[in-house]
Structure 1
Amino acid sequence: MRKVFTKLVFTILSLGSIAASAQENDLGAWYMYFGNNKISKKLNWHNEIQYRNFNAAGDLEQLLIRTGIGYDLTENNNNVLLGYGFIISRQYINGEKKENIEHRIFQQFITKQKFGRFNLQHRYRLEERFLQDDFRMRFRYMIGLNIPVNKKEMLPNSLYVSVYNEIFLNLDSPVFDRNRVYGALGYVINKNMRVEAGYMNQIQENRNRGQIQIGFYNNIPFNKN
């Protein structure tokens, strides 16, 4: 299984080098950390940091920090969450880089289903976005699927395929904001940690852009049970 993990590491490094050499092709890179840690039997703490670049590294497009407290309506499923996000965004306008700061409150509901090897997740999220000179509201729906490859379950030392589609809809005009399509190869390190490397294509009204993504997931519980 060490060979499998080594192959995944080489895949991640290869994706990083692709992003480094493809800046002129409008290919960016996102480096992401996601934490979902149990506080009690029903409560969980969500925490994440996403470092998004126009290129492989160094040219920051967006820094996103998000946190929240969730509650399971049923055992380990049907989670409702209230959260907050702090976002620094930078855009090139007429060759000059402009910075915007956003404070975001969000509410979400996640439900999971399992069909054999297929681990399905639905996420519904409502966002209240406090921009520097504006206020906006947005709805997001994501459907994601994880499929283990070399084992029947998402167990330690297993490889898996991850895909998702997420649509963003504004509550004002224009209604369509963006759509994201994602595919990745993942590796389960242990029962509480996994890593993914993949590609996401983001479609906006007048822009279509690709992103190399590398993500680390931490589910280490804080409660003794």
Structure 2
Amino acid sequence: MKHISKKIFYSFFILSITFCFSQESDLGTWYMYFGNNKINKKWNLHNEIQYRNFNAAGDLEQLLIRTGIGYDLTENNNNILLGYGFILSKPYRNGIKTENTEHRIFQQYITKQKFGRLYLQHRYRLEERFLEDDFRMRFRYFLGFNIPVNHKEMIPKTWYGSFYNEVFLHFNSPVFDRNRIYGALGYVISPNLKIELGYMNQIQENRNRGQIQVGFYNTIPLNNKD
């Protein structure tokens, strides 16, 4: 029985990749890595790479790289963070592939709660966006939760459901930018490693687009002496 979870996980991973590469071009695919690594008891390093495609792979929509330094106001619960992001976008305009870059500074506050099996997270983020020919400010509110399935806690070898909703608001007109709704199946590999396969629907003013998402999460501490 001890090998069953490993076999299920490997099957889950292989099927996720196969599923993503079988999609038609009207369904995008995002491959994502998130690192949130403790430097010591109070400080943490955020590091993130997202490779977003218009299709399964090869037609790049956006490459997003983010990093930041965070500080725990209370241990593992309330965290403030200052970060920087670089975004390379390759949208289609009138059927022609274009390219533009963005530099982004952001500040965020994350608070977490636990109610029974429900792991809840609120994230409030303010962004200063330096575009090639414009400057914009944006506010984002993220509400997410995880629910373990085969165990009561998020321990290794746990399957869990992951869900979130995130709304984006401009400081100028139009105020509404977009809304993201996400659902996924996740697996806890170890105390500091998780993987998720999910679907996200992004709603914009004149556009509604689905995204298959494969996410890998790393919380391995940088200093194990704490």
Asked if TM exceeds 0.5, the reply is: yes
Q: CA deviation at 1:156?
A: 0.7
State the match for 2:173 in structure 1.
Answer: 173
SS at match of 2:174: coil
CA distance 1:23–1:212, change in 2 (3 Å): same
State the match for 2:120 in structure 1.
Answer: 120
In the superposition, the TM-score normalised over structure 1's length comes to 0.96
Q: CA deviation at 1:6?
A: 3.1
SS at match of 2:80: strand
State the match for 1:16 in structure 2.
Answer: 17
Distance (whole Å) between structure 2 residues aligned to residue 66 and residue 33 of structure 1: 10
State the match for 2:95 in structure 1.
Answer: 95
Q: Could you tell me whether the CA contact under 8 Å between 1:86 and 1:103 is conserved in 2?
A: yes
State the match for 2:221 in structure 1.
Answer: 221
SS at match of 2:132: coil
Distance (whole Å) between structure 1 residues aligned to residue 172 and residue 10 of structure 2: 43
State the match for 2:38 in structure 1.
Answer: 38
Distance (whole Å) between structure 2 residues aligned to residue 214 and residue 205 of structure 1: 26
- Runs of 5+ consecutive residues of structure 2 not aligned to the other structure: none
Q: CA deviation at 1:77?
A: 1.5
- Runs of 5+ consecutive residues of structure 1 not aligned to the other structure: none
Deviations 1:96-138 (A, max 9, x none): 1000100000000000000010000000000000000000000
Letter in 1 for 2:58: G
- 1:1-225 equivalences under 5 Å are 2-24=3-25, 26-223=26-223, 224-225=225-226
SS at match of 1:23: coil
Distance (whole Å) between structure 2 residues aligned to residue 157 and residue 3 of structure 1: 10
In the superposition, the TM-score normalised over structure 2's length comes to 0.95
Letter in 2 for 1:180: R
Aligned length: 224
CA distance 1:173–1:2, change in 2 (3 Å): farther
Deviations 1:52-89 (A, max 9, x none): 00111111000000000000001121100000000000
Letter in 2 for 1:211: Q
Distance (whole Å) between structure 1 residues aligned to residue 205 and residue 12 of structure 2: 32
Distance (whole Å) between structure 2 residues aligned to residue 155 and residue 11 of structure 1: 18
Q: RMSD of the alignment, in Å?
A: 1.2
% identical equivalent positions: 71
Letter in 2 for 1:222: L
Distance (whole Å) between structure 2 residues aligned to residue 213 and residue 12 of structure 1: 12
* 4+ runs deviating over 4 angstroms: none
Distance (whole Å) between structure 1 residues aligned to residue 156 and residue 20 of structure 2: 29
Q: Could you tell me whether the CA contact under 8 Å between 1:163 and 1:183 is conserved in 2?
A: yes
